[in-house]
Chains A and B, each alone.
Chain A
C-alpha cells in the first residue's frame, strides 16, 4: 500500500492543478493576471531534494510526459523541461545545505526557470505572441507569488513525507 502512496500523491497534485485552473475565480486575482499553478512541479522538486536525484528525475519525466499528452497535446515541452530543471536544481542542492528554507527558495527558482523555459518554447513555436515585458508583468510575478504561497503551505508536509520515503528506501 505504501508503495502506491507516492504516485497517488503526484496524481492528486496533477489533478489539483487542473481543478485550480478551472475553479479559481479570475475576479479574485484581478482580470489582468494569469496565474499558472505549478503544484505538481513544486512537489517533484521537493522529491528530488529530499528523496534523491534519481527518483526525482524519473518521476519528473513520467509526469512531464503525462502532462504533455493529457493537457498540451504537444509532446516534448514538459517531458524535457521537468527532468532538466529537476536535474539542475539537484545539482544546485549539492552545493547548498539541505534545510527547509533553502529547499523552498530553490524550488521557487526552479518554478521560475520552468515558466521562463515554457514561455521561450511557446514563443518559438508561435503558441503565444505575448511580449516579454507583458509576460513578466501579467504572468511571471503573479505565478511566482501563487506558487510561493502553495510552497509555504505544502513545504513542511512534503518534506516530512519525502524524508520518510527516503528512509524507507535506505532500509530496503
Chain B
C-alpha cells in the first residue's frame, strides 16, 4: 500500500485527472461569457489569424477561380436561362412588397419579426478538431455583435454566435451537436407547420426537426425557414429543404430530415443578423434553463 502512494507518477496522473474533470466541468457549465484571460487569448489569436487568413483567402480564391473557368460555358448557358425568370420574379416581388407596405400602413403595424439588420463578417479560422463545429469571425463586441445572433450565408442559415470577444467572435454551426441549440422553425406548405430544429445527423448530413405532430402531412422538397418565435432570430431565414420524414420513437411525433441550404464547408464571407424587433426580457420568458432560438 505505501508503495502505491509513493509512486510519484501515479499521483501526478490522478491529480491531473481530477484537475481535468474540474476544468471540463468549469467550462461546460452555462457561461454567459468567457473569462478575461480566455477572451484576451482568443482576441490575440484572432489578430494573428486575420493576418494569416488574408493571403490564404487570396490563394484559395485563385484556385477557385481556376476551377470556375473550367465550366464557365455551361454555367453561362444555365444562368442566362434563369435570368429571364428572374426579371419577371423581380417585378412580382416589387409589386408584393409595395402591397405589403400599403397594407401595413393601413393596419398601423410597422415592425415585424421579419425585420433585421445585416452585418458582414469574414471567417478567419475554423476549428480543426471537427467535433465541435465552430468558426471564428473577425467582428466582435466593438462591432455590435451579441451572443446568440443568427449567422447566414447567401444560401441560408448556418449557425449562431456562441461567444463574443472584443474583436472576434465564435460561431457555432448548425452541424454541431448541442442539445441547447434549438431553433424554432416553420415547414412551409399549404398550411405552415411549426417545429424545432434539434440536432444534426452526421451520416445523412441533415438537420433534424423534431416535435412535429404525427397527423400533419409533410412532403419531400418543402421549404423550411426560421419562425422568429424563439425571440432571438428574425423570421424568414432560409434553413433548407425536407428530404425525409419518419415517425419518432413513440409514434406520437414526426421527425423531418432537412438538408441545409447552406454549405457548412468552404465558408468565407458570412452575414451576422441583428433582429430589429425588441426581444422579450428574460423575466418575461420565465426561468427555463434551456433556450429556444
Contact = CB atoms under 8 A, between A and B. Distances in A.
Interface in A34-49: 34-37
A51 to B, nearest CB: 21
Nearest to A114: B129
Grouping DSSP codes into helix (H, G, I), strand (E, B) and loop, the B interface class, with mixed when no group exceeds half, is mixed
| Chief secondary structure at chain A's binding surface | helix
A58 to B, nearest CB: 14
Interface stretch (A102-110, A119-127, A155-163): A119-127
A126 B128 contact: no
Interface stretch (B24-32, B74-82, B104-112, B224-232): B24-32
Contacts, number: 118
A26 interface: yes
Contacts of A26: 265-266
A19 interface: yes
Q: How many residues of A sit at the interface, in one of the four size bands?
A: 35 or more
Chain A CB within 10 Å, residue with most, of B34, B56, B60, B129: B129
B41 A69 contact: yes
A119 B129 CA distance: 10
Contact of A72 (B129, B177, B203, B267): B129
Contacts of A138: 202-203
Contact of A34 (B19, B45, B130): B130
Given A73-B170, A128-B131, 13 more contacts: A21-B127, A22-B125, A23-B56, A23-B266, A26-B265, A66-B45, A69-B38, A73-B162, A79-B20, A118-B129, A119-B131, A125-B24, A134-B202
